[in-house]
Structure formats: C-alpha cells, structure tokens
Amino acid sequence: MYWVFPGRWYLVVFITIIGEVTSHKIAIVGGGIGGTSNAFFLQQLLKDKAQIKIFERGDVGGRLREMQIGGRSYDSGGSIIHSDNFYARALTEKVGLKVRNLDKGGGTGFYDGKEFVLKLTGSTFKDKFKVLGRYGFGIRNIVKDAEMMLKTFKRIYCLQSKKVAFKSTAELLNSTSPDFLKRAQVSMRQSLKTLGVSELIQNELIAAAMHTNYNQELDVNAFVGFVSLAGGLVGDLWRVEEGNFRLPQELVKATGVEVVKSKVRSILPSSRGTGYTVTYTLSGDTEDFETEDFDAVVLATPLHNADLQLPDKVDVAKNTKPFQRTIATFVNGILAPVVPGQENPEDILTVWSKEDLFFSSIGFKGSATPDFNYKIFSKTPLTGEQIGKLFSKVNEVKSVDWKAYPKYSVPDTLPDFELAPGLFYINAIESAASAIEMSCIGSKNVALLLFQYLENVENVDFKTVCRQQDLIKFKEEL
C-alpha cells in the first residue's frame, strides 16, 4: 500500500504483509485423560489456530473417577503411574498438581484361595531372598526383559518429539521396536515359556500381576503382559497427590477449552464437502438434537461404549474390541483374616488357582472414620454374603462397575488411529495396553496426525530420526 502524506515531497512506502490466520474447529468426543491431554497437545502444536470443543456425557475424567468413603477420597480408576511415564509426570507438574511417590507399604501376600504361597514384607533385602528361595534365579530373566522393554519403549518419546506420527497401533509399536509388534500377537504364557520361565513363576507372580492390573489371565498378549509386569518389577510408582482424577479436570482449566455435557449421536461428513457434522443431545434431553460442523473430530472414548453413528467408510468392526468388566468395591470396616490365624498383609493378590476365587485383589487404603478402608477388584459384583466372608465388620460399601480395559487375546487386530480423513481415534492405543500413560501417548500421536492433516504437513520417516536414542528433556519441552 502506498500513502502520500500532505506537505511532503517524498513517498513513504508501507509494505504490509497480512497473514490471515486460519483457525481449525476441532471436536473431541470424550473428556477422559485421552481427550483432555489431546486438547493440551493440540494447543501446543496449533497455537491460537485451535478452536477446541470437548463433548462429554458424564463428568470430566472418564474412567479416572473419585470415590469417597469413610471420610476419605480415592481413585476408583487408574490409581498408580510408573516413574518412567514422562507425559503423565510432565502434565501433572504443568497444571500445578503434586507428585506423591509410593512406598512399598506393609507388604504383599500372594493368595491361592487357601493360603499365602508367598508373603513379602516391603523390605527389599528380605524380599529378594524370599523370592529367590521360592522361584530360583529364573526370575532374573523376567526382570531383565522388563528393564529392556521399558528402555526401548522410551524411543516413542523421541519419535514424537520429532513430530513422527503413526496411522495405526501396529505402526507405532513396530517403529518403537519390531519385537513389540510380535509380542502383541502372542500370549503372555507363550512368551514366558520362550524365556524359560517356570510354570510356578507364571502361575503365581505373573498371574497375580495380570489379575491385579487387568483382571485377566495369562492368555493376554505378551506386550500388555510385560507392561503390567514392569510396574512391579522395574522402577518406582507414584500418583497425583490430589488424586489422579484431578489431572483431566486441571487440563481442562489449563487449556480453557469448552466442555459440552452431552451425548454425541453421530459424526457424519459435513454437507460443506469438508469436515464433519457432529449431532448431539444435551444431557437430560433425549429429543432435541443439535448439530455443529467441525474441520476434524477426535474420538477419545472406546468405540464399544460410544453408541454413535459413524461414516460408512469407517470399519467399526475392526476398530471395536470387547472390554473386560471390572468391579471396584470399596469397603469401610475391618477385614477378617483371609487365612485363619495369620495377619493380613496390606495388599492381597490372587494367583492362579483351582479354587473358586470371587475377588482378584484386596488393597488396604488406610485409616478412615471409622475403622479402615479397603479396595477390592473382582470380575462380578460382590454379594453381601461374599463381603460378609471377608469382613468381620462392615460400616459402608460402595462400588464402581465399569468396562475398564480391553479383553486382550491373541491373535488380535490392532485398531487404527486414523478412521477416515479428519477423523481420529485415540483409544486405538488401548489395544496394545491400557494405562494412563498409554492414553497420553495415543493422544499425542493423534494430535500430531491432526496437525499434519490440518496444516498439510508431511510426516517424518521414523527411520531417519532417533537413531542414537537421543532422548531429550521431554518435561521441559512440555
């Protein structure tokens, strides 16, 4: 533009380059840790271009829920996080929540329905001798394998820092290590046999970990099996001091995104020719439908539970998995001796057994008002008679009945992150393993895919980066 100022003999030239900022409207269906962390990662990548709206039919948090009993508050969903989980830790600190490291507690008992086959005290020195005395040195193979797996899996953080994205779960696993993809297609029991792990170790230590973490048996895929083991064998554990359920809530506050409490009915191609039309009903309203167009949509809820209409081109059958029903029962009272004449350890884990065990684990949560609080995992709701068998005194009982994680079986299909152009699925990652950190990794991957899609950016070939495992300080990057 040229402007001539009066009274001047010279021309003043103003060259103005106006770059119009194109905003991107993005819908996220699901307000759990996957959806809320996705909003955070999208804002990092798209800056002010991101106009994000979260649709959540319940409370923000999804499967990360709060349970109050005996005057105390607890996580009824994911309650522990591993020390190597970079995203969960960085996000926790970013939103101003506190990290609380977990100690070994008052010991762990491995119960077969009749007796404790092993009791650990929480003392590392004494427990090593107990474990070696019962299982021999074969346990070392498992520990080494779990250590190597954790070390190798960290490659995903390096890849994502270089903006490498993957359209399927299989691609993500393979890029981190081809061995991971192979493990996802064989059972945990078969993998352990290949390592030369004895049946005694499999049926006791490994089975107890599967029961506690995924409420399933050794027929789960080996990848999720070793993810489950790593938490107990390698590294330390922590939780958000204010409760893990607070993390999604604080992420919403930190991002400032709008949350619409609603039930999404359909996600279909927009009549505009690009993007999608989201049809939904506000909570409590089942008749009045509302619609809104978006440039892209992120599904951050398991498809088996979504109950919505998707475009015809989406292969719903391939990307839908059955989920394992899990009941978390909280009891305020006094736990009777599980084995008559013996003191109960703080945590009671069940091993493989011919006995008819009606619970998977019992955890002591601490002192309460009155007495004590306990958390029991089971596959079916506990009856009053069953609770009466376990407790000498019962003051209060509360339970959460939900589909907690996929049923892991082999061989199995691994869902896609990209269901259709502009339509992405965070929970595809759960087909490999379900955990808070896995949701964050899936969320970051979808954010990268969406960034490439909306900004017309080419993907980076994972073979050209992170060759030397040059892991950077991911927490500082966040």
* pLDDT tens digits along 350-396: 999 988 899 999 999 999 999 999 999 999 999 999 999 999 999 99
Please give the residue range of the domain that contains residue 441: 24-63+243-321+411-477
Q: What CATH number corresponds to the domain at position 415? A: 3.50.50.60
pLDDT tens digits, residue range 47-79?
999 999 999 999 999 999 999 999 999 999 999
The confidence score (pLDDT) of residue 305 equals 79
Is the residue at 189 inside a domain? no
| pLDDT score, position 13 | 36
The stretch 234-249 carries a mean pLDDT of: 94
pTM, two decimal places = 0.92
Looking at the domain assignment, is residue 344 inside a domain?
A: no
Looking at residue 76, its pLDDT comes to 93
Q: What gap in Å lies between CA 130 and CA 119, rounded to an integer?
A: 8
> Is position 399 within any domain?
no
**Any domain includes 137:** no
Q: How high is the mean pLDDT of the chain? A: 90
330-344 mean pLDDT: 97
Q: What is the C-alpha separation between 264 and 228, in angstroms, rounded?
A: 33
- Position 186 scores a pLDDT of 95
Tell me the mean pLDDT in the region 187-206: 94
Q: Is 172 among the domain residues?
A: no
What domain count does the chain have?
Answer: 1
Flag whether 370 is in a domain. no
Domain-located, residue 120: no
Residue 139 resides in a domain: no
The per-residue pLDDT for range 4-30, each reduced to its tens digit, is: 333 433 333 333 344 456 799 999 999
Residue 321: what pLDDT?
Answer: 86
Note the pLDDT of residue 471: 53
